[in-house]
């Protein structure tokens, strides 16, 4: 991933190895976190990972592949059907509320709590 200065067009940083070696995936979307010190990257199998903006260090996974199979997920949304293509089309971080919102190809919007730096918690799932 390459980061450019929007005003000058100059290349600011290059981040390599932003994908998990266990899964051959393509990156699908990106967003900056609070104070632009971290960023989130999503891929075409539905995983969201958080990295340090300064050095590209992996910080944490925001979700898991089996998220839709967990009992916590089914409590939040019982009628969502898991689909083969669970790509994430959009990520949005709301700094005031410390929420990460993801729009998934399985017709869901998922809201994650980023209050705790060690763990991301799935708060709500909304089928659209």
Q: Give which of 26, 57, 66 is closest to 39, Cα–Cα.
A: 57
Mean pLDDT of the 61-84 span: 64
At 87, the pLDDT band (50, 70, 90 cuts) reads confident
At 19, the pLDDT band (50, 70, 90 cuts) reads confident
Residue 83 has pLDDT above 80, yes or no: no
Q: Which long-range contacts (CB under 8 A, 24 or more apart) does 120-123 make?
A: 120/48, 120/50, 120/60, 120/61, 120/62, 120/63, 122/63, 122/67, 122/72, 122/73, 122/76, 123/76, 123/99
More confident residue, 84 or 30: 30
At 99, the pLDDT band (50, 70, 90 cuts) reads very high
Q: What is the pTM of this model?
A: 0.83
Domain count, the chain: 1
**14: domain CATH number?**
2.130.10.10
Q: What is the pLDDT of residue 58?
A: 92
Q: Which domain holds residue 29?
A: 2-127
């Amino acid at each position: 991933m390459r980061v450019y200065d929007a005003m000058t067009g100059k290349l600011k940083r290059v981040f390599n190895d932003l994908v998990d070696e266990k899964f051959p995936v393509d990156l699908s979307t990106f967003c900056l976190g609070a104070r632009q010190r971290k960023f989130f990257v999503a891929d075409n199998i539905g995983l969201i990972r958080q990295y340090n903006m300064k050095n590209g260090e992996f910080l944490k996974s925001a979700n898991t592949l089996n998220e839709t199979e967990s009992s916590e997920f089914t409590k939040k949304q019982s009628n969502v059907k898991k689909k083969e293509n669970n790509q994430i089309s959009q990520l949005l971080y709301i700094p005031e509320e410390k929420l990460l919102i993801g729009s998934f190809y399985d017709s869901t919007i998922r809201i994650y709590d980023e209050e705790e730096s060690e763990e991301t918690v799935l708060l709500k799932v909304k089928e659209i």
